[in-house]
Chains A and B, each alone.
Chain A
Amino acid sequence: MDAGVSSQVSLKSTFEADVRQIVTAKHVRMAAANDAVAGTQPSFVVEPGSEQELGKVLKLANAAGLAVIPRGGGTKLEWGNSPVRADVILSTARLNRVLEHPWADLTVSVEAGCTIANLQEALAKHGQRLALDALRPKSATVGGVLSTNDSGALRLRFGSLRDLVIGVTVALADGTLASSGGKVVKNVAGYDLPKLMTGAFGTLGVITRAIFRLHPLPKETRTVSCVTSNAAEAQQLVHAIQNSKLAHSALQICWGAGIQPRVDVLFEGTEAGLAAQVQQATAMMGAATIGGAGRDVWDLRQEICSAGKGGGEFAVAKFAILPAELAESLETIARLCRGELRWSVVVQATGIGWVRLKGAVAGVDSVLRQLRPDLEGRGGSLVLAQRTASARAFEAWGNAGDALPLMSAVKRQFDPLGTLNPGRFVGGI
Chain B
Amino acid sequence: MDARTVDQRNAEARAAEAQNSAARSVDRRIFDELREIVGPRGLITSREELHTYECDGLTNFRVLPRAVLLPDSTEQVQKIIRVCHREKIPFVARGSGTGLSGGALPVENGIVISLTRMNKILEVDFANARVTVEPGVINLDVTNRVAPQGYFYAPDPSSQSVCSIGGNVAENSGGAHCLKYGFTTTHVLGLEVVLADGSVVHLGGKVLDVPGYDLMGVFVGSEGTLGIATKIILRIVKRPECVQTLLAAFPSTNEAGAAVSDMIAAGMLPAAIEMMDNLAIQAAEAAVHANYPNCGALLLVELDGPVAEVAALMAHVDEICRANKAWEIRVAQSDAERALVWKGRKAAFAAMGRISPNYIVQDGVIPRTELPNVMREIGQLSRDAGLRVANVFHAGDGNLHPLVLYDRRIAGQEEAAEGLSSKILELCIGAGGSITGEHGVGEDKKKMMSKMYSEPDLQTMQRVRCAFDPQQLSNPSKMFPRPRLCGEKPGEYVAHPLETAGIAERF
Contacts and interface: CB of A to CB of B under 8 A. Distances in A.
Interface of A: 102-107, 127, 149, 159-160, 162-163, 170, 172, 176-180, 182-193, 195-196, 198-200, 204, 215-219, 239, 242-247, 269-277, 318, 320-324, 350-352, 378-381, 383, 397-404, 406-407, 409-410, 412-414, 425-427
Interface stretch (B68-76, B260-268, B381-389): B260-268
Contacts of A404: 212
B460 A176 contact: yes
A414 B369 contact: no
Given A196-B218, A276-B306, A322-B128, A104 B212 contact: no
A400 B240 contact: no
Nearest to B470: A409
B367 A406 contact: no
Interface string B427-469: 0000011111111110001000100111011111101111110
Contacts of B220: 192
Contacts of B261: 104
A226 B242 CA distance: 27
B218 A380 contact: no
B206 interface: yes
User: Which has the most chain B C-beta neighbours within 10 Å: A178, A378, A425?
Assistant: A178
B224 interface: no
Interface stretch (B25-33, B105-113, B171-179, B411-419): B171-179
Contact of A273 (B211, B238, B309): B309
A250 to B, nearest CB: 15
Nearest to B464: A191
Interface stretch (B195-203, B291-299, B318-326): B195-203
A184 B215 contact: no
A395 to B, nearest CB: 10
Given A163-B186, A187-B437, A216-B267, A324 B306 contact: no
Given A190-B449, A195-B218, A399-B211, A184 B461 contact: no
B213 A186 contact: no
**3 A-B pairs closest in CB distance:** A273-B309, A195-B217, A216-B267
A273 B308 contact: yes
Contacts of B269: 215-216
Interface of B: 125, 127-129, 150, 171-172, 174, 178, 182-183, 185-186, 195, 200-203, 205-215, 217-218, 220-222, 238-241, 261, 264-265, 267-269, 305-313, 365-369, 394, 397-399, 432-441, 445, 449, 452-454, 456-461, 463-468, 479
B222 A245 contact: no
Contact of B398 (A186, A196, A200): A186
Given A183-B367, A188-B438, A196 B201 contact: no
Contacts of A399: 211
Contacts of A217: 267
Contact of A198 (B212, B214, B464): B214
Given A180-B460, A183-B433, A270-B309, A381 B267 contact: no
A400 B309 CA distance: 42
Contacts of A190: 441, 449, 452-453, 457-458, 461, 479
B209 A352 contact: yes
B218 A180 contact: no
A404 B208 CA distance: 17
Contact of A196 (B171, B394, B464, B479): B464
A6 to B, nearest CB: 32
A245 B435 contact: no
A183 B432 contact: yes
B48 to A, nearest CB: 34
B306 A246 contact: yes
A402 B438 contact: no
Given A180-B457, A189-B434, 13 more contacts: A187-B434, A187-B437, A192-B221, A195-B214, A200-B214, A245-B239, A246-B306, A247-B309, A271-B312, A273-B308, A277-B306, A379-B207, A403-B215
B226 to A, nearest CB: 8
Contacts of A407: 212-213, 215
Contacts of B202: 401-403
A185 B129 CA distance: 26
8 contacts: A103-B265, A185-B397, A272-B311, A273-B305, A277-B309, A323-B129, A381-B211, A401-B202
Contact of B449 (A189, A242, A379): A189
A379 B222 contact: no
A134 B468 CA distance: 32
B393 to A, nearest CB: 11
B369 A381 contact: no
B209 A243 contact: no
Nearest to A199: B214
Identify the interface centre among A199, A245, A406: most chain B CB within 10 Å of its CB: A406
B212 A403 contact: yes
B363 to A, nearest CB: 9
A273 B305 CA distance: 9
B74 to A, nearest CB: 13
A105 B240 contact: no
A426 B129 CA distance: 28
A96 B151 CA distance: 43
Given A185-B398, A190-B449, A247-B309, A104 B207 contact: no
A350 B460 contact: no
A217 B269 CA distance: 11
Nearest to A181: B434
Contact of A270 (B203, B312, B399, B449): B312
A148 to B, nearest CB: 11
Nearest to A128: B267
Contacts of B307: 276
Nearest to B440: A188
Contact of B200 (A163, A191, A195, A402): A402
Contacts of B312: 270-273
A207 to B, nearest CB: 13
A163 B456 CA distance: 25
Contacts of A179: 453-454, 457
B461 A186 contact: no
B398 A412 contact: no
Nearest to B130: A322
B367 A320 contact: no
B238 A242 contact: yes
A159 B237 CA distance: 13
A317 B203 CA distance: 22
Contacts of B306: 245-247, 273, 276-277
B195 A269 contact: no
* Among B178, B210, B238, B261: residue with most chain A CB under 10 A: B210
Nearest to A243: B238
A414 B208 contact: no
A120 to B, nearest CB: 15
A195 B264 CA distance: 26
A326 B133 CA distance: 25
Given A180-B461, A245-B238, A406-B201, A426 B212 contact: yes
B461 A105 contact: no
Contact of B468 (A276, A322, A406): A406
Contacts of B369: 102, 104-105
A127 B312 CA distance: 19
Contacts of A215: 269
Contact of B456 (A178, A199, A219, A273): A178
A162 B303 CA distance: 25
A218 B467 CA distance: 43
B365 A397 contact: no
A410 B366 CA distance: 31
A218 B313 CA distance: 13
Contacts of A323: 127-129
A238 B461 CA distance: 41
A188 B171 contact: yes
B308 A275 contact: yes
A324 B452 CA distance: 44
B203 to A, nearest CB: 6
A400 B212 contact: yes
A247 B305 contact: yes
